[in-house]
Structure 1
Amino acid sequence: MEASKTQQQLIIEEWSGYSSTKLFKTATITASSSISITRSADSFNHVWRRFLDAFVPEGFPGSVTPDYVPFQVWDSLQGLSTYIRTMLSTQALLSAIGVGEKSATIIGATFQWFLRDLTGMLGGILFTFYQGSNLDSNAKMWRLAADLMNDLGMLMDLLSPLFPSAFVFIVCLGSLSRSFTGVASGATRAALTQHFALQNNAADISAKEGSQETMATMIGMALGMLVARITTENPLAIWFSFLSLTMFHMYANYKAVRCLALDSLNFERSSILLQHFIETGQVLSPKQVSTMEHVLPLCTTLRSSKSTKFLHTRVKLGLRVSSLDHPEMANLLNSAGSFYKKAKYFLVERKGIISVIMHKDSAAADILKSYIHALVMANLMDEKRSLHLESQSWMDKQYENFVQKLKSSGWKTQRLLSPSIIWKAHWYSESLGEKTD
């Protein structure tokens, strides 16, 4: 509030907003012999802001990253198409179970639904076991893959009435597909929420996203009921509507993922950054890297060319020492005494792949350094040089400069060199750097 006193008259101005630079006046209170209140004529902005507070984080837009708005717009559109298609697929599924048929039994329908849900639960556990640790480092890829799997699940539900003899198998396959969606979508959403939060407001962002999703759900349900009613008893219209919405859903998801400019490092981003730094001496920004990284594994092979090297495909982080044969073990011990006396990792070249062996006490900074070192070595493999000697020389001269430029280019330090680094080695050793006579 601002107050001033002129000729025994007290004037109080009422302002509203979350930031001192983005306030708007809502009322003026004048007190002399009597009190008068003059409310701002622009009351619409005040009401609109209150309505908006239910759907956007406090302090918006300054409290979130620039890619928050485009991502949420495309994400809401893809969610809207999903809810409309859900009405169509659910209608087909209920028809296949026997809803409305005199011959259908309650116990039969209940068992089929239970079997469907049980398959989904088991699938979710298995997916978490095999891929849970990869969801943070590949949030874009798994976000897109989750929605594609959801599309497949709804397609199975829509197909189920067409194949009565294989109904249970088809329904369970669809439930299995959606279980992958639930795990991957939930986990990657948590990672993206942390990315969007600029003011430790991840909980607020998550809550407001719930409001956005609820609104999209209500609109989608209404439109879905309308579409389902229009297309009833018309299989051609049902399939045309479903496939059209699915195509739009896939496009919206792709656009949403492409909007993201994540500022944490993973395998591919590290590779892109290092290659560009070696060639130009400069470090790309997160926005620049976001346009170059892939969102699906297949894109790596489809878009690759002879002139392009994807260094991260030549590096394996984590190797069993016990898997080495005797010559490899001898080379490892020799390089340990020559090049890795002070390091908490070893690098081993095996059949064109640089494998990293980490010390069991290695920190996030050691893991990052080992991976960058391995990428440098992979970059030198085609030049037939002394890999250990040349790569170590580069690390001594350029590594610290590279890390400093990463920080100054927008790559967040706390996510770069802290225990929250988004990848870890699978196998560790205890006696790295200790040469035995």
Structure 2
Amino acid sequence: MEATGEESTEFIVVEEWSGSSSTKLNRTATITSSPSSIAIRRSGSRFNQISRRVLQAFVPEGFPGSVTPDYVPFQTWDLLQGLSTYIRTMLSTQALLSAIGVGEKSATVIGATFQWFLRDLTGMLGGILFTFYQGSNLDSNAKMWRLIADLMNDLGMLMDLVSPLFPSAFVFIVCLGSLSRSFTGVASGATRAALTQHFALQNNAADISAKEGSQETVATMIGMALGMLLAHITMGHPLAIWLSFLSLTVFHMYANYKAVQCLSLNTLNCERSSILLQHFMKTGQVLSPEQVSAMEHVLPLWTTSCMSKNTKFLHARVRLGVRVSSLNHQEMVSLLHSAGSHYKKAKYLLLEQKGTISIVMHKESIAADVLQAFLHALVMAYLVDKDNSTHLESISWMDKHYHKFILKLQSSGWTAERLLAPSIIWRANWVPGPSNEKND
């Protein structure tokens, strides 16, 4: 508000601003008031004002400053892959309903209901089992599980499309498809939550999630419309249906791969820690999240022809949270020696056997101890390749460089408080001294 003239009450100028965030405001009008009249001068066109209001329903408040730079490219590819999914869903659902008997006089309501119930029941049980076995591993490999989730969804829709071709095995095939999609629901939901936290720069994860819902609603409506049109055009033409489905599936996987490639996560998981540590040991410098993203292996390790002993995959040679009672006699002797000498004050023990580093975590260890133990194990694995005295050399390196490495990680934008890794189930307790007591 500005005041001019001899008295502020005689001539007043009021500016009207519009926007949901104080950092992203637009002036919409200027109101000039005098004792005899009021003049309103509007800024910008009505179309621009309406378009801004509509945009607010689909982008987070304060966009683009409230989200990370990789939000827009990821969402673009994610919506494109979602669009292809909704179109293919119409094709697979049409085939599934046809196989159940919709439209046929011989079909019974109770028979179709039972088949649909069995299909849903299989999916629910599959979701529970998948959560039990892999739930704790989803955060640590969000990119990989994102791809796997969509691949399983593709397999599920493929099963629905195939089901009419094998009437005698219809229920079995449909249940397999539902089981496959149940994995998708769990993995996709869990990884999406992790990615939403990554995008949120202003503690606005709820807003980002809500706006994503609006984006997906529009994509769903467009996909359903295009899917119904495609289903109508290809009805009665099996070759056209299969060509359309396979083409959209190929595009779907490509869009998913591009979406995952756009992500520059700043959390430390096993592979990113390995890439960062190896580069630091060679150059003394820390890579940025964007640089590590370009080097990160998105697909599962078994899809590459490289051997796991390649230094790029040092993390594959580290076993975190080893069960003490699973060790053989020689390994146990080495472990007890370590407990009594090298790691008296540490909350972890390291054991190197044939290039593989096993980590036994103390029962009182915290997140920072797990991160330190894993990085120490990576240092040891790196030194094994150099034919050095692994225990002494790795301890010396940790004493000299570990804290410096953590500080450089934090200054480069990394979240270096914890390691994203599967839950550690087995821990141990040890008492340094002449007689060490080990308890699982």
Look up the match of 1:25.
27
Secondary structure at the counterpart of residue 319 of structure 2: strand
Query: 2:25 is aligned with what amino acid?
Result: L
C-alpha deviation, 1:301, in angstroms: 3.0
Q: Residues 337 and 297 of structure 1: is their aligned pair in 2 closer, same or farther, counting only changes over 3 Å?
A: same
C-alpha deviation, 1:295, in angstroms: 1.4
Look up the match of 2:426.
427
Cα contact 2:308–2:314 (8 A) shared by 1: no
C-alpha deviation, 1:10, in angstroms: 1.1
Across the aligned residues of Structure 1 and Structure 2, the Cα RMSD in angstroms comes to: 1.7
Query: 1:256 aligned to 259, 262, 270, which one?
Result: 259
Cα deviation code 1:284-314 (max 9, x no counterpart): 1111111111111146633559864411011
Cα deviation code 1:350-378 (max 9, x no counterpart): 33310100111111110000000000111
Query: 2:254 is aligned with what amino acid?
Result: Y
Look up the match of 1:14.
16
Is 1:121 the counterpart of 2:120 in the alignment?
Answer: no
Distance 1:308 1:385 in 2: 15
Alignment of 1:5-404 (within 5 A): 5-6=4-5, 8-20=10-22, 22-32=24-34, 33-298=36-301, 301-303=304-306, 308-404=311-407
Distance 2:230 2:2 in 1: 58
Gap regions ≥5 residues in structure 1: none
Cα deviation code 1:215-264 (max 9, x no counterpart): 10001011111111111111111111111111110100000000000000
Gap regions ≥5 residues in structure 2: none
Distance 1:400 1:306 in 2: 27
Query: 1:400 is aligned with what amino acid?
Result: H
Look up the match of 1:410.
413
Secondary structure at the counterpart of residue 16 of structure 2: strand
Distance 2:168 2:256 in 1: 34
Distance 1:435 1:368 in 2: 29
Distance 1:269 1:128 in 2: 24
Q: Residues 165 and 46 of structure 1: is their aligned pair in 2 closer, same or farther, counting only changes over 3 Å?
A: same
Q: Residues 303 and 324 of structure 1: is their aligned pair in 2 closer, same or farther, counting only changes over 3 Å?
A: closer
Distance 1:261 1:112 in 2: 43
Secondary structure at the counterpart of residue 431 of structure 1: coil
Distance 1:326 1:41 in 2: 79
Cα contact 1:26–1:43 (8 A) shared by 2: no
Count of residue pairs the alignment pairs up: 432
C-alpha deviation, 1:157, in angstroms: 0.3
C-alpha deviation, 1:143, in angstroms: 0.5
Distance 2:320 2:308 in 1: 24
Secondary structure at the counterpart of residue 340 of structure 1: coil
C-alpha deviation, 1:35, in angstroms: 1.8
Cα deviation code 1:375-407 (max 9, x no counterpart): 011111123322111110110111111111111
Secondary structure at the counterpart of residue 429 of structure 1: coil
Distance 2:259 2:302 in 1: 17
Distance 1:293 1:225 in 2: 39
Secondary structure at the counterpart of residue 217 of structure 1: helix
Q: TM-score when scaled to structure 1?
A: 0.95
Distance 1:309 1:432 in 2: 36
Look up the match of 1:4.
3
Distance 1:159 1:29 in 2: 67
Query: 2:393 is aligned with what amino acid?
Result: E
Cα contact 1:149–1:177 (8 A) shared by 2: yes
Distance 2:434 2:428 in 1: 14
Cα contact 1:15–1:24 (8 A) shared by 2: yes
Distance 1:6 1:242 in 2: 73
Distance 1:214 1:26 in 2: 30
Distance 1:192 1:120 in 2: 25
Secondary structure at the counterpart of residue 156 of structure 2: helix
Secondary structure at the counterpart of residue 137 of structure 1: coil
C-alpha deviation, 1:424, in angstroms: 4.0
C-alpha deviation, 1:75, in angstroms: 0.3
Query: 1:153 is aligned with what amino acid?
Result: G
Distance 1:231 1:386 in 2: 68
Query: 1:222 is aligned with what amino acid?
Result: A
Query: 2:138 is aligned with what amino acid?
Result: L
Q: TM-score when scaled to structure 2?
A: 0.94
Distance 1:230 1:23 in 2: 47
Matched-pair identity in %? 75
Cα deviation code 1:90-116 (max 9, x no counterpart): 000000000001111111111111111
Distance 1:353 1:272 in 2: 18
Distance 1:20 1:96 in 2: 56
